[in-house]
Amino acid sequence: MTRGLNGNQIKLIAIIAMTIDHVTWILWPGYDTHWWVLLLHVIGRLTAPIMWFFIAEGYHYTKDIRKYILRLFIFAVISHFAYDFALNIPFVPFTTGIFNQTGVMWALLCGLLVLVVNDSPSIPGWGKILLIIGLCIISFPADWSCIATLGIMAIGTNRGNFKKQMIWMMAFVFMYAIVFFIFIDKIYAVLQLFTALSIPVLKAYNGERGKWKGMKWLFYIYYPLHLVLLGVLRIVLWGNDVNIMIGGR
């Protein structure tokens, strides 16, 4: 029996952590500082780095990068409406600001495109730099902003060197925490650093996908579906007047 955790098991951890985090946002809207709320959000910090890691792994193993990009794009569009509905954010971006205007799927797509651009032999060095900057800019309004894009780049371009992957990933997360500290919330800025808890989980990855081939589709479908259900719960609990992540009760 192979030791460690396979891809399916780690993705399941991400799904559970994400669900806990998102349910917590609905039950305690705004930047609540009760210890149990912060603890539940700490658990949720496991999810993003796992997403980034497996986007990079998917890029490495995919047999058809165009289908991979198209699949992510379709679910990014679907998830935009699900995410905004769940958190009571207008579907038209930038109505409530520049942060958290769409779901993380959009940033994951941009991260995948960064890896494609970086490895393209037909794009000159200066062109790659400009395109990567452009992808960071258009991913900025998403959940986890351009940090998700940069995190995928850090993991994908340093594949085979786990220590370097994690150092660069946490460097970008630290940048995110600084922005959070200045513009959004100081306590929740520190909370972002708990993404480091994902490092031992990812280190346990044994390189195997797992026997069940449906996990890929489970995550794609689960992400927007659970957001829609949380949006219904939000309306039941708070009506349609509470902005979950920016406002409060």
236: which 2 tokens? 């039941």
Give alpha helix (H) positions in 103-161.
104-119, 125-139, 145-157
Q: Could you tell me what percent of the chain has a pLDDT over 70?
A: 98
> In the chain, where are the structural domains located?
7-238
* Each residue's pLDDT tens digit, 84-124: 999 999 999 998 888 899 999 999 999 999 999 999 999 99
Q: Is residue 1 very low, low, confident or very high in pLDDT (cuts 50, 70, 90)?
A: low
Cα–Cα distance measured from residue 231 to residue 237, given in angstroms and rounded to the nearest whole number: 10
Find the distance separating the first CA and the last CA of the chain, reported in whole Å. 50
- State the pTM of this model: 0.95
- Spatial contact of 6 and 213, defined as CB atoms under 8 Å apart: no
pLDDT of residue 246: 60
| Average pLDDT of the segment spanning 220-234 | 97
Q: Supply the angle between the helices 125-139 and 104-119 in degrees, to the nearest 10.
A: 180
Each residue's pLDDT tens digit, 143-183: 999 999 999 999 999 999 999 999 999 999 999 999 999 99
3-class secondary structure, 26:
helix
Main-chain dihedrals φ then ψ at residue 142, nearest 5 degrees: -80, 165
**Residues 215-237, mean pLDDT to the nearest whole number:** 95
Q: What pLDDT is attached to residue 244?
A: 85
User: What span, in angstroms and rounded, lies between the C-alpha atoms of 105 and 111?
Assistant: 10
Q: What pLDDT was estimated at residue 245?
A: 77
83 has a pLDDT exceeding 80: yes
Instruction: Quote the pLDDT of residue 96.
Output: 85
